[in-house]
Every structure is written in C-alpha cells, then in structure tokens.
Structure 1
Amino acid sequence: MNNKNVLALAVVGVFLSACSSVDDRAAASGDFEYLEHETVAPIKVPEDLTVPPTNSRYAIPDLATETSSVLVGNDISVASPRLVIPLVSGSHVEEGSKEAKVLFDQINDKEPLEKTIWDTVLAYLELNNIGVESFDKDTNELVTDWVIDRQEDDASWYEFSSEYIEKARKFKLNLDLAPHGRTAALTSKMIKYLDEDGNDSLVNVNPIDKRTDEVNFINFIIAEYDFGIRLERSQRIAKIRDGFSSQMGFNADGDAAVMIDAVYADAWPRLQLVLRKMGFDVVDLDQSSGLLFVKYNGPDDSWFSGWFSDDELPLDEDDYRLIVEKAGDKTSITFKDIENEPFSAQKVSEIYPAFSEYMAASDLDI
C-alpha cells in the first residue's frame, strides 16, 4: 500500500469519526423495524363458542406518542447509567434506588450531622457561584438558583471555531434525618430546566438525562464533603505534630495534674508520643475511659544518650497508670502508681519539666 492510499484512509477515518457526535454514540442504532409493526387484532371467536381465557402478562405496551415519555428507537440511550459515588467515609447508597440519593453516617461528633451536611452544600454552592433561591431549615429543603451549564455545540469536523450553548437548571435538595440523628439521606432532584432557547422544557427532558444531571450534581457535593473531611484531618494531624503548651494544675477531684492546652481528641494521640519519648511503654489503653497502663523503662540506653540533656525521671522503673480527662477546652493528665494512688504535687512538679518540653516540641520525632 502506497503513501497516498494510507493518507486517504486516514482522512476517511477522521471524517467518519467527526461525523458522529457524543449524543449519537450514546444513542441506540439500527433499523428499528419494530416501530413499523402493527398490533395484531385479537382472535374473533364465534358467538356460539366460549372465549378462551387470556393473560396480559406478555402484552406489548403502546409505543411513544407525542404526549408520552416512553423511550423507543433512537431515543433509547445505550450509555452506562450515571451512579452516585459514595466517596466519604461512612457514606453509602441504597441498593436498587432510582433516586439521586446518598446516605451519610455520623463520623464527626464535634457538630450535628445535619449541620455538617448543609455547611458542605452551602460551601459547594458558594465556591461555584450558585445562588440559593430558598432554604428552609425546619423542613430541611434547599432550592438552588439557576445552575448554568455551558457546553460546546457539535460543529462540523472541518470547522475550527467552536460555538457554545447554555442550559440552565434548578435543583431541590432534601435532607431526611433519621430519628437517632446519626444518619441522614441527601436527595437531589431537578425541578426546572431551560433549554438553549430559554424555553422551560423540563417535561421534554428524558428520564435518563434528568437522572444523569441529578446524580452529577449530588456527586459534586459528595466530593466537596470528602475534601472537607480530608482537609480537617490533615489540619488536625499538623496541629498534633506541632505540639501543645501545658501547665500544672488540678483535676476535677483535686489531685495534682498536668493541664494540656488541647481538646481531648487531640491530646490523646499526642500524649502517647510524649510518653514513649520520656521512656514509657504503653502496655494497655482505653480511649473511651481515658485510662492508660504504662511501664517506665528509664531513658534510652544508647551510647549517645545523655550527651545533650539528662533524660532521667525521678521514677522507679515500674508500672504506672494515667487518667486522661476532658476539662472544657483543655485536657487533664493525672499520674498514678500501680495501686491507683495519684502522684503528689511535689512528684508531679519533678516530672513536669520533661513532660512539658516534649509536649510542646514541634514535629516530635519518635
């Protein structure tokens, strides 16, 4: 095959591929001969004979008319249906549900699930310059302003300029909160549609395209929700690594304690890093009750230990326990011996300098 034939085939290939638009490739193709078939008339039974029993189970439905929305022929989409993607930890979908709906489970106890979801929705709308037409917190219903979709119009393959068409839609978001408040279902529904000519034509949108738009909209919100969680987790990890300041004080029972300038959820993982750095091994722990069983092994016995500072604590190499408790926006740490007797204020003051130094150290390396 010479070069001229290869070039000719390449041009034909480009021409044929350019002649089919995205919509054409997503639509069913064929002769659709079934559209021309007429319904067979029922069997005529003579008057003197008994009419046999019939069953409509396998009856063929009437084809689409100008006023119906039955999809037949070229109107049938063969593209894969758009699916709700539950990216967020604790999110899921109902199997078999035809709605654009996602369910969220409570994973952040700092605020109600309802507030977390609506804050995410509003953040997404603001980020994409989408207005809010109405928002009723009592009924948990939000209606967006016009969501403008600017799409490139299908042009001939030989045209190098592009034209765009704009379509506008409004969506209604409903939040259904479970009675226990720890699970909520967010549903997206298109309620208005303006075509490229500015005509209200929601009734003319086929069900597949309508569901695709509804699913796309709720998937964007899910992605924003996931981003917010990952950002908060990253910021929390950075905060824990930066360390916290502390002071000597007293717990709720009046025992000498160390007060950490951090909430319980942040102080708990940081404390385990600090204890290991100070020469303690955590033998057992229970975050729900705030109890840690530890064993003091003394400072690191490596050959270079002690060159820079004295890491020795005024403690016997023995078993101890710590009580970690919430104290408003602070966290109290109470040291006790194995007999569950709290340390005296004098003993706490002796171990406090090393404890406070490690607790406040930035990027603590274990």
Structure 2
Amino acid sequence: MTDSNHNVMSCSRHLPRVRSLLSLVAAGLLASGCGLIQDRSDNYATAEQADPLHGVDGEPLPRQRAAYPIRPVSGSGTMANQVPRPPDLTSEILDENYVIESVGDQSWLLVNDVPGRIWPAVAAWMTRTGLGVASDSTQLGMMQSEIVNYSRRARELVGLDEAEANEPLTLVQARLAPGVRRKTTEIQLRPRLVTEAPGRLLSWQDEPMDQVLEEELLRDLSRFLQEQEDNRSYSRAALAMTSEPRVTMRQADAGQEQAVVIELPYDRAWTEVRRVFEDENIPILDLDQSAGYFLVDGRPADDRQRNWFTSWFAGDEVEPVATNRIELVEDDGKVTVTADRADGYNGGNYSRSVLSRLYQYLY
C-alpha cells in the first residue's frame, strides 16, 4: 500500500469525528449567539448628549441646513386655504347614475353619489333656475327657494302663466336623504303654496301639490347634474346630514328571529323588496301586498338547474318551487322583513340565505 493511499484511508476514518466536532461547535455558537451580539435597541433612552463639534480653530461648526427644506406657504391663493377633495367613495351600484323613481304619489331622483357631493350641486341648480336658496338645513337635508312669483325664470320653470294680481305665492322645497342603497342619494322637489314669504324654513309637506310637475323638475335637475358631473364639489357642511343606514340586519336571539329592518314607508319597502327578488332572479310564485307576503324559490341558481341526465329530456330549468315565505310587517315607521320555510315544503331551509341576499343588495 502506498503512502498516498494510506493517508486517504486515514482521513476517511477521521472524517466522521471531524463532522461531529464541527456540529458541536456550531450548536454552541447558536446557543450563545444572543450573548455574543449585544442588543442596543434601547440604549438611546439612557444616552448622554455629546458636546458639539468644533473646528480646528476651536469654534463650533455652523448649523447644517436641511437637505430637502420645506418651502414656506403664504398667501390666500395657496393650498393652505384649500380643502382637499375627499376620495370618491362611489362605485357602480346602479345600472344608471340618475334614475327617477315613483311609488304611489311620491317621486324622487336617485343619484349614484353621496349626499355630501350632491348638496352643493342642487344649490347651484336652484340658483341657475332663478329659484334661489332662501333657507336651508343640512341636518334636515332641506333647501327652500325664494318666492317663485318674483322671478321670470323661476315662473317658467314651474309653469306659471303671466303674473296676475292676488295670485297665490309659490315656493319650491328640495329634500336630500341617503338612498336605500349605500352611497346613493334620493332627491325630492316639492312646489307648495304660501300666503306670504315665510322668512324661515318650513316643514316638509308630505302630500305633493302636483306630482307631474315634480317629475318635470326632477328631470331638469337630472340634466343639470349630469352636465356638471366633472365640476362637482364637496360640501363639508353636508357632513351633518344623517348617514345612518336605512337598512339593517337584526340578528336572531332568544326573543326574536332574524330579520331585515327597512326604515321606509310600507309601500316603498314593498317595492324595494320586490325589486331585489326580480334583480337577483329569485322566482316569485305568489305575492299579496295587502297581506304582506311573498312566496319565493329561495334555492341558489345552481340548485334550480337539472343534472346532465334529466336535462337531456326535459330542458335545463327546474320548475320553481315555493321554498320560503317572506313576510313584511310595518311598525312605527319601519318595516321588518322575515323569512321562513313555506308551508308544504320539506326540503332545505333557505331562510337565512334569502335574507342575506336581500340585505346585501339593499345595503
């Protein structure tokens, strides 16, 4: 055996021992690593202030200037006196951004934007049309015009003929409120007769004087809002308008069942619930507004499809089945919507699913 072969074999015999020794050394270093590296993250709390630096002549060094100095701001036209526009919180909630809707004798313009941005735009419309704004309250969400009879443009807007002696005085009120669907605004315009200039903001008149005229005014306002959409400002004062949701989900407990609570008159709430079923493709098999109920097929769309074998002979859609009874009860200006399994239906209970879809659509 040569010396070289003997050395190789000797190294091979000692290699496991070397590996074991290196492993022990590495483990020891890891175990004591925290002790070798000092933690100085809290040293600043007890650090002493150092003496200022001096030059070779013994004098303190001059104070250094900031690398990126902040430019001084002054004057009335600077950004200091401008309120930055808030982020646009709206989204594609509606198929159309401006829709005139009616239920019974009530009509309103539904706008896909928050009240804080619509308020100044409505005030601008009243000024442009000659109505003017005599009184307003952002807390009530109301504006009141000057007397219409004294402005030619305003008279034309509300359809008044040539001025006559002793003619009744007319003014126009606008009311803004958060829409049922989130981040929307509902606007109502209501002409009304008065005996004299009120000098204050009158309470809202529930009954319309002329619903056809109201809808004509809403159409004119809608056109103005669309024209001014790119130049729309934001009213900080309008932040005082109520922002409480008009639709809430009441959770079930020992004393009450789960329900969707809608803060609307009964007719409005009925219309909104029916709209949800139609838009969400939830089949309605029976309904009775006076009795306050819907019979719907609350199954998911996939469950209403036939399987591949039966669809070969009978088509894709399964005949709708009344799985749930939806009831609406009005109490103290609110409508409570509950869901239960329909009589005679023994399949799965889709009550919670139907209420959840109703709430998510409205809220």
TM-score by length of 2: 0.31
Which has the higher Rg, Structure 1 or Structure 2?
2
TM-score by length of 1: 0.31
Write 1 or 2 for the structure with the bigger share of strand: 1
